[in-house]
Amino acid sequence: MSEVYRGFVISEGAYLVQVPDDSQWGFSLCSDDQSWPGGIGAARTWKPVRREDVPPEVEEAMGWILDAAD
């Protein structure tokens, strides 16, 4: 089984964080105050973004999610 991506993603101009979890999809997409198992309800498609390329205000608002997932 491949490892699930852990990091920032972007969908339609909105940044989210993807973290592995125990859901049937194996991951959730998260904002600073909500999470969506499998990304359902948050986005249809998204692409990874390197952490160093995320705007500072996004890092400040959601970087803790990645730090907590380590």
Q: Which residue(s) pair with 48 in the sheet?
A: 9
Answer yes or no: is 14 within a domain.
yes
Answer yes or no: is 2 within a domain.
no
Answer yes or no: is 1 within a domain.
no
Q: Give the Cα separation of 30 and 2 in Å (integer).
A: 21
Answer yes or no: is 24 within a domain.
yes
pLDDT of the residue at 70: 72
Number of domains in the chain: 1
Q: Which residue(s) pair with 30 in the sheet?
A: 17, 35
Q: What is the pLDDT along the chain (70 residues), one digit of tens a residue?
A: 468 999 999 999 999 999 999 999 999 999 999 999 999 999 999 999 999 999 999 999 999 999 998 7
Domain membership of residue 52 as a residue range: 7-69
Q: What is the DSSP string of 13-42?
A: TEEEEEEE-SSTTSEEEE-SS-EEETTTTT
Q: Can you read off the two tokens belonging to residue 10? A: 């972007």
Answer yes or no: is 29 within a domain.
yes
